[in-house]
């Protein structure tokens, strides 16, 4: 299990290790720096000189440990320190003195002449270690520190960040004024939330976790905000339940759309369901919508959704369905959705439209085992917030939507997050660019609907997200990243994943 911690939780982790487990802070710093050195050593092919840029806090102390190990292993290394050594305290000071005591070279960068020296060192270096700011940073970087970061980003050398790229918010993954763009990030103890957002993942590059040399059981005391979804575990779960349920022989999915403009969603959701495993599909829509998709009659049963028929007719239409998918829910769909949540005993998968706005809170009602699939804009509509503020607190926003709608929530975008009531949030540890497209989200809804024929909604959400993401990966591998994938092409790759 790969747990993901917030800023406060990593502080609590350190405090428990020091105060309860009696592991001195300098030992934690040594373990962090040694772990980072081991990763950096693997990157040193054809690197003649390493530059470590240190701040005055504990992140700088980690940098001095790295520099000392590089020096001891015979690597040419220089440290640029961004503050007077007299301002160093505690463990950072101890490791500064140890590096200098072994003959290490430290250059101060406190003024314009210091910046010129930094530029000279950057020209020499084949690898630069960013050890300026860690998880404690909660203010914007400006002035001389911003200038240093600009110069680091301009270098062609490999950039390695310790714990976090300096300037990246540990909780939100947003940029605090400016930020180091890292090729590799070595984070300490556990993953941080900010590394698993779309912005954070882009800026962090390849992420490694270095052990602090204390048992992971400490995390039971600190708690954690999320867990990384491990593909192998989900895949095994899918195959095990699939075998038990006889998924290839049974299951019926109902797909509901009320608006002519959303007829495309009927097609893609049906395709997602059928490519996951053969099943019976019922398309429920007004006659004007069914007319536009009449060519689908060979693959699905088309049944008119008539408001004049009342709720009883709708309930009868759902009697032989094991799950229902609302692939593009507008205001016109709300009566049907509310009725389904009241009377339908199976799982329901919903992708609300942005236009639904505050009315989406009507999703909250008794009955129904529901998954809500959203992008950033739809999540903002659910919470009456703009996409920017939602993105600044992705994990908190998913939790708020879960509470507001009494449902599992899947934020299906470039860095997916899934919230299941009663459990920690799940976050995908890799970027899935194609999920940030409505068509691919609708395909995912169809996959989840098919999975929900034999499992509860939360399991279907996990499995459906995994299968769709794997189909995206397969498409990218086949096309070697050329061009943008169409939703239909993603759906056609699902049988190979299954």
- Residue 233 has what pLDDT? 67
- Give the residue-averaged pLDDT of 377-403: 87
Q: pLDDT tens digit string along 130-178?
A: 999 989 888 999 988 999 999 999 999 999 999 999 999 999 888 999 9
Taking the C-alpha atoms of residue 265 and residue 439, their distance in angstroms, rounded to an integer, is 8
Using pLDDT thresholds of 50, 70 and 90, give the confidence band for residue 232: low
**Mean of per-residue pLDDT scores for the chain:** 86
Residue of 33 and 428 predicted with greater confidence: 33
- Residue 272 has what pLDDT? 92
- Residue 164 has what pLDDT? 95
Closest Cα partner for 78 from 129, 36, 115? 129
Domain annotation for the chain: domains and CATH numbers = 3-224 (3.40.50.10260), 227-497 (3.40.1190.20)
Taking the C-alpha atoms of residue 4 and residue 21, their distance in angstroms, rounded to an integer, is 21
Q: pLDDT tens digit string along 267-296?
A: 999 999 999 888 888 998 888 888 888 888
pLDDT at 468 over 70: yes
- Give the residue-averaged pLDDT of 214-232: 76
pLDDT at 249 over 70: no
- Residue 178 has what pLDDT? 94
Q: pLDDT tens digit string along 362-371?
A: 665 555 588 9
């Amino acid at each position: 299990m790969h747990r993901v911690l917030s800023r406060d939780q990593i502080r609590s982790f350190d405090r428990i290790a020091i105060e309860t487990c009696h592991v001195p802070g300098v030992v934690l710093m040594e373990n962090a720096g040694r772990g980072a050195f081991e990763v950096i050593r693997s990157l040193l092919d054809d690197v003649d000189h390493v530059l470590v840029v240190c701040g005055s806090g504990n992140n700088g102390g980690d940098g001095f440990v790295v520099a000392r190990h590089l020096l001891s292993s015979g690597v040419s290394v220089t440290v640029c320190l961004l503050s007077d050594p007299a301002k160093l305290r505690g463990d950072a000071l101890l490791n500064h003195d140890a590096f200098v005591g072994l003959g290490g070279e430290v250059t101060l960068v406190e003024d314009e002449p210091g910046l010129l020296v930094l530029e000279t060192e950057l020209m020499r270096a084949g690898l630069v270690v960013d050890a300026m700011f860690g998880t404690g940073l909660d203010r914007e970087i400006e002035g001389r520190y911003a200038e240093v970061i600009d110069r680091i980003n301009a270098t062609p050398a490999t950039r390695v960040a310790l714990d976090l790229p300096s300037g990246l918010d540990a909780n939100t993954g947003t940029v605090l004024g400016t930020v180091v763009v890292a090729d590799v990030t070595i984070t300490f103890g556990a993953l941080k939330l900010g590394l698993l957002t779309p912005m954070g993942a882009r800026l962090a590059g390849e992420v490694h976790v270095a052990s602090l040399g204390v048992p992971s059981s400490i995390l039971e005391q600190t708690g954690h905000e999320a867990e990384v979804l491990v593909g192998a575990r989900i895949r095994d779960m899918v195959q095990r339940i699939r075998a038990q349920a006889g998924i290839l022989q049974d299951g019926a999915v109902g797909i509901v759309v009320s608006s002519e403009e959303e007829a495309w969603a009927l097609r893609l959701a049906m395709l997602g369901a059928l490519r996951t495993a053969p099943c019976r599909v019922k398309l429920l829509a007004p006659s004007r919508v069914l007319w536009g998709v009449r060519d689908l009659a060979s693959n699905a049963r088309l049944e008119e959704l008539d408001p004049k028929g009342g709720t009883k007719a709708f309930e009868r239409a759902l009697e032989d369905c094991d799950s229902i998918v609302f692939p593009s829910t507008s205001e016109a769909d709300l009566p049907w959705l509310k009725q389904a949540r009241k009377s339908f005993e199976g799982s329901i998968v919903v992708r609300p439209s942005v236009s639904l706005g505050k009315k989406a809170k009507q999703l909250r009602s008794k009955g129904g085992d529901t998954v809500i699939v959203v992008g950033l804009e739809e999540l903002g509509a659910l919470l009456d917030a703009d996409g920017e503020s939602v993105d600044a607190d992705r994990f908190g926003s998913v939790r708020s939507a879960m509470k507001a709608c009494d449902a599992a929530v899947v934020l299906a975008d470039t860095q997916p997050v899934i919230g299941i009531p009663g459990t920690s949030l799940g976050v995908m540890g890799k970027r899935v660019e194609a999920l940030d497209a409505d068509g691919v989200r609708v395909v995912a809804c169809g996959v989840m609907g098919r999975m929900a024929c034999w499992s509860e909604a939360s399991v279907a959400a996990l499995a459906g997200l995994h299968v769709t993401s794997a189909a995206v990966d397969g498409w990218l591998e086949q096309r070697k990243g050329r061009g943008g994938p169409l939703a239909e092409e993603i759906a056609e790759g699902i049988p190979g994943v299954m």
